Amino acid sequence: MGTGALLEVESLAVSIGSARIVHGVSLQIAAGEILGLVGASGSGKSTLALALMRLLPPGARASGAVRLEGRSISAMSEAELQSVRGRQVGMVFQEPMSALNPLLRIGEQVAETVRLHGRASRRQARSLAREALDRVGLQGEDGALDRLPHELSGGQRQRVALAIALVLSPSLLIADEPTTALDVATQAQVLALLRHLARSLKVGILLVSHDLAVIAQVTDRIAVLERGEIVEQMATADLLGRAHHPYTQALLRAARLEPKRTRRDFAHAALVLEARDIVREYPRARRSLRRRPSPLRAVDGVSVAVHAGETVGVVGESGSGKSSLLRVLLALDRPQGGEVRLLGENFSGARGAALRRLRRSIQVVLQDPAGSFDPRWRVERLVAEPSHVLEEPPSGAALGARVSAALEQVGLPAAAGARYAHQFSGGERQRIAIARALILEPAVIAFDEAVSALDVVVRAQILSLLAELAERLELAYLFVSHDLQVVRAIADRVYVMQRGRIVEEGPAERVLRSPRHPYTRSLIEATPQLGAPLAGTGC
Amino acid sequence: MSGQGSPQGGWARGAAPRGRGSAAAAGGAITLAFLAIALVASIWTPYDPAAISIADKLQAPSARHWFGTDQLGRDVLSMIMAGAKNTVGVALLAVIIGASIGVPLGLIAAARRGVVEEMVMRASDLTFAFPALLLAILFTAALGPGAVNAIIAIGVFNVPVFARVVRAGALTLWTRDYTLAARVAGKGAARISFEHLLPNLGGVLAIQATIQCSLGVIAEAGLSYVGLGAQPPTPSWGRMLNEAQSLTALDPALAVFPGCAVALLVLGLNLLGDGLARGRGG
């Protein structure tokens, strides 16, 4: 009955309790084809991906038909399924760290999959593992086999996860947000690898993501999932030009990320935050009794300036020293050299009352909307927390009014204050974090990867909100991110950071259109853009 | 051929094992029962546990004396009840002493790091290096036997346990973004420790307190067994066991009741502690 398709899904439906998560989904993937499955968070993408291999959480019910190479997955016994998973179908998920056993060497982890599925000898398994690691660009001869997961970077770990998925040469690969936790350069490499697998090894791939810009680069076809239903499904090139469904168009707009405000030149405005020649070093672990190791220099002579009302972006890969710099700018760490001035006063050297007074003028919004709130505090208390640095902290009704006003400014009802942070979605939590930063009416707010964990639609909303607040309240922003696209959408001026140094700076428009430094150029090439093909072919 | 998912869901992974909560509930019930007995005993016992009546000595359990009487004709049920008050009191106070010194030490070690942390941790290593019960015996032998000294001796060994648990927990919490946000809000280490860390360590502390309580019960029984706990005429389970030992041939039942009381209370506390720990981990 097979029609030649590798994977056929017919009217698949999943419900958990009385909630219908996925319904009426039908799709096909041919050998060597990459199908993109795109939708905002909560659209049922991941549930759908899990349902294909019958990996749904307890309590979920599914119906419909899933056929792999003509065999019905839904009719298989658990034993048959186990031989299909891993051997015929490989799977990769978002978090490469949690998918690996931290105590097992890479080579053994890959080999383990082989040994679980067949009677391969230890040596055969090891050579297969080496081949698989070679295939994903981790050269087995270089000792990659003997390394532990924590010794690898995020991109390398994702490659190991891919190697495990691919070691038995499966005909189908299911990849759920495989690049979301990676920075742009690594993301580009992993995407190139996926495309290579499909083209040369004829692996069929289901690539699940919230970001159209990412998956449009490598997919042949895209299915758009909204509230558990496929609302549109067509060839990638057609979708970019002729999407009809309003939801697809919203996703496209969000992925394009138009500039949120007209850029202005603030060179003549007053300086709000100024850092000169900042050096930040971390001591390294001692290996010999005689010699003290030279410290690790994370920030190496960096100067940054933010003018009143200006939005400044700091861009760089993970490990470029952005976060270390930010901690110094916020006076959380003391620099080993240089000085930070806030509103003309020495901030990095301030102590006691002076430090507390200055803290009112700079606030921060952090990346992880889940981790940046005390789980035991209600939102009203969380938002009110910074008001503690005021000389006469308001209390009772006055404080309540301030909290409500701050929540309203970020588009949340005042009633939100009575709930706990975990009761809100990722985007709403980031709004709460912004409200907390606003309550002191600071002159500048620093953002550390503040929108990286959000899906594209929510990201666009938050960026619009930030642009509007900046205009209305004349706020200055320091926007630290690895994502050039985000910085392009919001910043007036950018600094590009590499290995602890600023390699390029200038107006955002100029730097991103005609970059001068090769590093900036490579970052721009790696950044996914709708309609532009994936740059570079190697991995 | 469309595969219909069965109600149990052939599609779903195996369901998580159930029934762990009931063990914790049983542990909680046992612990509460002993607490209640200890409270009741401080107001009322069927007989005066210290009242000697040689005429009634070594009676078997009966309607008048539910658990019988001992070699001096004292009512065993009353002694067990009064002993519960003594044991529970000693174990609880020792935990309170340990926590009230150990928790601040752990918080300070995590907040200050460096030399302070080293000092606190090496001092606790030093305490751990000695067998706790032996040292407690040494301690009470030096200070003189009695309930108060037993409390101090057991409490001292609870200090490093709490200091370690709190330091480990606080170190992970210090890496959370919300402590960073609190620092940006201008709060100092002490304030963050009390407002953010302590409430979030509450669960871990409750588990540790339960475990230390059960160890305290055993330690108290041990100390009073060798005569270093509460002194006569205050009844205690350990001394009841000691006295019953010489009478095992005459009346083996005398050892059963205090022995069961110790075992049951320790079991209850451990079930409760395990249940709390699983509840957090699950």
Q: Which of A238-242, A470-474, A526-530 has the lowest mean pLDDT?
A: A526-530
Q: Is A328 on the interface with B (CB under 8 A)?
A: no
Would you say A321 and A500 are in contact if contact means Cβ atoms under 8 Å apart? yes
Say what the pLDDT of residue B1 is. Answer: 36
Q: Which of A50-59, A148-157, A188-197, B5-14 has the lowest mean pLDDT?
A: B5-14
pTM above the 0.80 mark? no
Contact between B3 and A51 using a beta-carbon 8 Å cutoff: no
Contact between A63 and B5 using a beta-carbon 8 Å cutoff: yes
For A429, other C-beta atoms within 10 Å of its C-beta total 23
Q: Which of A207-211, A258-262, A487-491, A511-515 has the lowest mean pLDDT?
A: A258-262
Quickly state the pLDDT bin for A2 (edges 50, 70, 90). Answer: very low
Complex confidence, ipTM: 0.72
Q: Is A79 on the interface with B (CB under 8 A)?
A: no
Above pLDDT 90, what percent of chain B?
29
Average pLDDT score over residue span A31-54: 88
Name A123's Cβ contacts closer than 8 Å, sequence gap at least 6.
none
CA distances from residue B263 to A176, A202, A317, B207, B251 in whole angstroms, order as listed: 52, 66, 60, 19, 20
SS (H, E, C) chain B: CCCECCCCCCCECCCCCCCHHHHHHHHHHHHHHHHHHHHHHCCCCCCCCCCCCHHHCCCCCCCCCCCCECCCCCEHHHHHHHHHHHHHHHHHHHHHHHHHHHHHHHHHHHHHCHHHHHHHHHHHHHHHCCCHHHHHHHHHHHHCCCHHHHHHHHHHHHHHHHHHHHHHHHHHHHCCHHHHHHHHCCCCHHHHHHHHHHHHHHHHHHHHHHHHHHHHHHHHHHHHHCCCCCCCCCCCHHHHHHHHHCCCCCCCHHHHHHHHHHHHHHHHHHHHHHHHHHHHHC
Would you say A296 and A465 are in contact if contact means Cβ atoms under 8 Å apart? no
Q: Which residues of A touch B1 (CB under 8 A)?
A: 65, 72, 75
pLDDT in tens, B266-276: 999 999 988 88
Contact between A372 and B3 using a beta-carbon 8 Å cutoff: no
Query: In terms of C-beta distances under 8 Å and separation of at least 24 residues, what long-range contacts does A139-145 make, across chains too?
Result: A140/A107, A144/A106, A144/A107, A145/A105, A145/A106, A145/A107, A145/A108
Q: Which residues of A touch B185 (CB under 8 A)?
A: 359, 363, 385-386, 388-389
Q: Which residues of A touch B177 (CB under 8 A)?
A: 366-368, 371-372
Of A172, A180, A168, the residue nearest A27 (C-alpha): A172
Which two structure tokens, joined as six digits, stand for A251?
A: 């996703």
Please tell me the distance from the alpha carbon of residue A156 to that of residue A162, in angstroms, as a whole number.
10
pLDDT in tens, A267-292: 888 899 999 999 998 887 777 777 77
Residue among A330, A371, A375 whose CB faces B184 most closely: A330
Please tell me the distance from the alpha carbon of residue B77 to that of residue B83, in angstroms, as a whole number.
10
Which two structure tokens, joined as six digits, stand for A465?
A: 């909100």
Quickly state the pLDDT bin for A531 (edges 50, 70, 90). Answer: low
Average pLDDT score over residue span A176-203: 85
Contact between A54 and B12 using a beta-carbon 8 Å cutoff: yes
Q: Which of B176, B184, B196, B201 to mutate to test the interface with A (most CBs of A within 10 A)?
A: B184
How far A197 CA lies from chain B's nearest CA (Å)?
29
Q: Which of A5-9, A354-358, B20-24 has the lowest mean pLDDT?
A: B20-24
Residue among B1, B12, B184 whose CB faces A363 most closely: B184
Would you say A213 and A180 are in contact if contact means Cβ atoms under 8 Å apart? no
CA distances from residue A478 to A274, A325, A347, A387, A496 in whole angstroms, order as listed: 11, 11, 16, 21, 13
Contact between A63 and B180 using a beta-carbon 8 Å cutoff: no
Q: Is B57 on the interface with A (CB under 8 A)?
A: no
Q: Which of A8, A20, A61, A351 to mutate to test the interface with B (most CBs of B within 10 A)?
A: A61
pLDDT in tens, B44-57: 888 888 778 787 77
How far B281 CA lies from chain A's nearest CA (Å)?
16
Contact between B200 and A376 using a beta-carbon 8 Å cutoff: yes
pLDDT in tens, A108-131: 888 888 888 777 788 888 888 888
Residue B9 has pLDDT above 60, yes or no: no
Supply the DSSP string of A379-409, one letter for each residue.
HHHHHHGGGGGSSS---HHHHHHHHHHHHHH
For residue A337, the Cα-to-chain-centroid distance in whole angstroms is 32
Contact between A58 and B183 using a beta-carbon 8 Å cutoff: no
CA distances from residue A108 to A97, A435, B242 in whole angstroms, order as listed: 16, 48, 58
Q: Is A441 on the interface with B (CB under 8 A)?
A: no
Q: Is B203 on the interface with A (CB under 8 A)?
A: no
Q: Is A54 on the interface with B (CB under 8 A)?
A: yes
Contact between A74 and B10 using a beta-carbon 8 Å cutoff: yes
Q: Which residues of B touch A58 (CB under 8 A)?
A: 9, 12-16
Helices and strands counted in chain A (H then E)? 18, 20
How far A515 CA lies from chain B's nearest CA (Å)?
34
Q: Is B10 on the interface with A (CB under 8 A)?
A: yes
Say what the pLDDT of residue A476 is. Answer: 94
Contact between B177 and A65 using a beta-carbon 8 Å cutoff: no
Name A170's Cβ contacts closer than 8 Å, sequence gap at least 6.
A86, A87, A88, A89, A90, A203
B19/A133: higher pLDDT: A133
